[in-house]
Chain A
Amino acid sequence: MAKTPYKPPTQSLLGQTFDTLFLLALVMAALFIPLYLGLAGGGKTTLELKDTTWAGMGQNATMQAQWEKLGFTAGPKTEENATSAAELISSRFDYSFEPVELAITALVVIGYFFIVFHWSKKEYRDVIDERFNNK
């Protein structure tokens, strides 16, 4: 026997506005919480450069010429030497990590997909049932 098709309630304009604002707030939170907590870009570190001459920073003659053409200078970065390349050259990523961090991240991604696919399958049965079995 065919089931009665599901009749969704009509959402008021106020409800629609609230839903829209909720989504907007959620998006902003995803951006600003990592930035606000200073966690964004946390995977970077700075090399300690003892010698900030071009050669001391590991730059050969060709590299030096290109840095200079781009407007950079050697030496430590100070107020007087604001165009120093030392900051760029010493910036590095820190790829050290705890295996448990990796395991948690993997679990979150896999768990997310598992739950979304599983839940979708349940909802999809209703969709197919109503679309094909109510004719």
Chain B
Amino acid sequence: MTQTTAVHGERISLLRVLGPGHVWALGVGIVLVGEYMGWNFAVGKGGAIAALIACWVAGLLYTCVAMIDSEVTSTVAAAGGQYAQAKHIVGPLMAFNVGLFLVFAYTMLEAANAITLGYLVQTVGSMAGFADTHDKPFIVLTIMFLAWLNYRGVYATLTFNLVITAIAFVAIWVLFFAVQPWSSVYMKHGDLLTGLPYGWLGVLAALHFGMWYYLGIEGTTQAAEEVRSPARALPLGTMTGIITLLIAATMTWYICAGIMPWEYLGQAVTPLFDAARLTDSTLLMVLLFIGTIFSTLASANGCINDASRAWFSMGRDRYLPQVFGAVHPKYRTPYRAIVFLVPVALVFAYFAPLDQVITFSILSGLLEYTFMAINVIMFRQKWPLGVIKRGYVHPFHPLPALVLLLLCSVTYFAVFLGYGTQLIAMMVFYIVASLWFAFHRYKFVRRGAQFTMPWPKPVGY
């Protein structure tokens, strides 16, 4: 199903040009940067071993997300992903909130990418003798360049992502083999692993940043209106994406935990690049510099793509001012949504510290996953199997949903440990936004027209 937008009286829609490879690149491209930066704050919250446990527990959380998402998305294949799902399954206020979760999870992730890129350029600039190199111009340039690329067209944008994601992924593999994980030439786990500095409470706390290894994989759904075969490409791209990330996350932990002290690793901005520095190999340093730059670019690029689609979809449905629901007459992209989100990303990237920006992103993601667990249960209740055609049916229902709900609850507690204020600030933001929508904005929204899927009436209505 493709929805259209009127421009100068002509009905135009997003272009269906993407295959499973692009879906994989969109998902992994957004997330792979999580191996290059951010995940290591889990080491700071609980120690290296806690971070490994968090990596696998978060992996389980995201496997549930991918299973659930594959079923619902392959059935509700509309731009906006989980936002469109919430609109059809739960109701308008939830959909509005889910749209905001998506936009802020991705926009904050984009800001975090720009901060990392700027920091790395500044570090390498200093190492190369340019002591005055400053990160801020690179932060601004990154966001502006990628916004321009997204403005110009989705095919070029995601093909660009496919190439640079593959290079960043290969860089992790090269580093993994270069540090000879089978020997103790570089790997000193015996000397560097120090148990659990915060005990088991630290393991729980580490789950907060453990999510960073995978956050954004659910973004594959944003391209639902632009893939040629949603029922095949979306589950295939998402599930291969999560497998790719589980492998990359474990390799990343193994390299970093075996080569640097946990106190450093827990606060490093670019841990994989630092791991390459510790090998004394200039070639590896250059490769991991390129890998980090490419992963941040690919991620920020995918984030702009996803956040703007969610914002566009909300504008098209009048959940937000209608001006955002426009498609560019020539490039067929949601250009106004892309432009509007640029200053938001810039302000966060320019003024906020990296761990705070990441926490804002993680919290929005966490709220979204909590919704997804309840959403899939409601989906199966309102349209039981066999009532509508599903592109994919995930096994063991409702177990993945219940496991996801449990892991989300634990992760809220993990965020509360050390970042409780941000959690409350974020909740206040969503509560005020909800009040604004329910008591002001919703009057501009058409009622029946929100339900666009060709399904029968839901059970119980």
Give the interface of A toward B (CB within 8 A). 5-6, 8-9, 11, 13, 15-17, 19-20, 22-24, 26-35, 39-44, 59-63, 66-67, 69-70, 72, 85, 88-89, 91, 93-95, 97, 101-102, 105-106, 108-109, 112-113, 115-117, 119-132, 134
Residues on the B chain within 8 Å of A128, using CB: 451, 457-458, 461
Residues on the A chain within 8 Å of B263, using CB: 85, 88-89, 91
B284 to chain A, nearest CB (A): 14
* B290 contacts the other chain (CB 8 A): no
Give the distance in Å from the alpha carbon of A62 to the alpha carbon of B92 in the complex.
57
Main secondary structure of the interface of B (DSSP, over half): helix
Q: Which chain B residues (1-59) contact chain A, with CB distance < 8 Å?
A: 44-45
- Known contacts: A44-B418, A117-B90. The answer to whether A8 contacts B261 by CB under 8 A is no
Residues on the B chain within 8 Å of A72, using CB: 264
Determine if A127 and B448 form an interchain contact, defined as CB atoms under 8 angstroms apart.
yes
Give the distance in Å from the alpha carbon of A113 to the alpha carbon of B446 in the complex.
24
Determine if A117 and B425 form an interchain contact, defined as CB atoms under 8 angstroms apart.
no
Contact size range, B: 35 or more
Determine if A60 and B191 form an interchain contact, defined as CB atoms under 8 angstroms apart.
yes
Beyond A20-B321, A72-B264, A119-B434, 6 additional pairs, beta carbon < 8 A? A5-B446, A95-B205, A95-B418, A119-B91, A121-B91, A123-B442
Determine if A43 and B417 form an interchain contact, defined as CB atoms under 8 angstroms apart.
yes
Determine if A117 and B94 form an interchain contact, defined as CB atoms under 8 angstroms apart.
yes
Determine if B432 and A26 form an interchain contact, defined as CB atoms under 8 angstroms apart.
yes
Determine if B447 and A6 form an interchain contact, defined as CB atoms under 8 angstroms apart.
yes
A74 to chain B, nearest CB (A): 13
Contact indicator per residue, chain B 416-456, by CB within 8 Å of chain A (1) or not (0): 11111111111111111110101011111111111100000
Main secondary structure of the interface of A (DSSP, over half): helix
* B159 contacts the other chain (CB 8 A): no
* B120 contacts the other chain (CB 8 A): no
- Known contacts: A27-B344, A120-B94. The answer to whether A66 contacts B260 by CB under 8 A is yes
Give the interface of B toward A (CB within 8 A). 44-45, 86, 90-95, 97, 104, 188, 191-192, 198, 201-202, 205, 259-261, 263-264, 267, 274, 277-278, 280, 318, 320-323, 340, 343-344, 347-348, 351-353, 355-356, 360, 370-371, 374, 412-413, 416-434, 436, 438, 440-451, 457-458, 461
Q: Which of A66, A102, A130 contacts B259 (CB 8 A)?
A: A66
Closest to A64 in B: B261
- Known contacts: A20-B340, A70-B264. The answer to whether A93 contacts B45 by CB under 8 A is yes
Give the distance in Å from the alpha carbon of A94 to the alpha carbon of B419 in the complex.
10
